[in-house]
Amino acid sequence: MADRYLSFTATPPGRFLTRRLGLPRPAALKRWSPGHPTLDGPLLHLTAGRSRLDLAPVLARTGLKIADAAHATGAGKPAAVVLDATGVTGIDSLAEVHAALHPVVRSVATSGRIVVLGAPLDPHDHEQAAVQQGLEGFVRSLGKEVGRGRTVTLVRPAGDATAAESTLRFLLSPRSAYVSGQVIEVDAAEITAPEDWARPLTGRTALVTGAARGIGAAVAETLARDGARVVCLDIPAVESELAALADRLNGVPLPLDITASDAGERIAAELPDGLDVLIHNAGITRDRKLANMPANGWSSVLDVNLASVLRTTDALLSAKALNSGGRIVATASISGIAGNVGQTNYAASKAGVIGLVRSLAPRALGRHGVTVNAVAPGFIETRMTAAVPLFVREAGRRMNSLAQGGLPVDVAETTAWLAHPASGAVNGQVVRVCGQSLLGA
């Protein structure tokens, strides 16, 4: 369903009324397309404290023209600002964060990006840990201030800049339009860059559950765009839609109930050469307050959203069906982080997915060479949210820093970044795709 308020605020009467009444004024987000693959404008590279990273080569490969503080005035409005704050270790150097961003923050272009790089918290240096933790509050607050479709994110690389390259490329591109206010930790790891950054999944096989429509279909389309051979899985009841999608993507339809006790074994049998990317997207809702929720309303949601994820993942890992260097990306929800009225079942299932990711990630990487991460969508414009009552729908759209709902492609782009072969240093992360929702952290 079209966001008529967003369209209205782009008109002269809409701009006048929203300004006079103090109403939200969302900016139309600039998302990736073949004709718009990069941000429009230069990238401003700033530093606070004594940097421990060699960022210049990585930033040069983003495709954006690099400017520094000395040449910022004549470079035009920056499409992005990267502030290297990895060397911020004390209160005095924390002041440099303000000094660096204060003069330029208003000049960032509409739908621009501000990325702050911090350091892991040092358990043996409480002052360093204090000021680096301070960056989280700073970034989340700035994300709620900047407006005009701009986003703010904190990245904490534990190793060198190369390990964070896929993350920086994602955050400094139109692909991350609905990701803001996030803290992303990047481990120290040796990364092999793909031969073609435009089609990084070439030669890889990806399985997407719940692929027939909505977010699942967008994920399948995006992975196929990036070169993957996509196996599209959904329940037999939507087999015709599933087959049409798979045919369009030159993929493989797999009509299968993911809650079947032998689903993992059947998937492994269908993929004798193994699987490189496993996307757990299948999910359902049965919303009611707990006092009115029948037992089957509870059990069906937990079975589809959580139990099937656990069973299938365990079966595929046990069968060694996930190839080394593989990726598992599960779909959580901000409901699993902040809770939601009428969704005790759904929130429990999605919080369970987060627990699974955090527990399994280090073991899966150590034993199988596979990373495990999650995306946590907020209000996304789908058939399901289109059926929500008008006032609830409008509240969901406006209660985030970007003042609008996201699109399925926003979740898909984030999933594709986590599935990227060069994202091997990103593990155990839960990344909200919510426009920095005002609910939760």
> Is 301:344 a contact under the CB 8 Å cutoff?
no
- The distance of Cα 18 from the centroid of its chain, to the nearest Å, equals 30
Q: Is 5 a catalytic residue?
A: no
- Three-state DSSP at 215 gives helix
- The distance of Cα 233 from the centroid of its chain, to the nearest Å, equals 22
The CA distance from 170 to 174, in Å, is 8
Give me the catalytic one of 138, 298, 346, 417.
346
The CA distance from 380 to 258, in Å, is 23
- Three-state DSSP at 209 gives strand
Lateral strand order in the sheet of 322-331: 252-255, 229-234, 205-209, 275-280, 322-331, 371-377, 430-433
What is the 8-class DSSP label of residue 28?
Answer: P
The CA distance from 13 to 5, in Å, is 12
The CA distance from 263 to 251, in Å, is 19
- Three-state DSSP at 46 gives strand
Residue among 430, 406, 409, 408 nearest 418 (CA): 430
Residue among 278, 337, 334, 282 nearest 305 (CA): 282
Residues acting as catalytic residues: 346
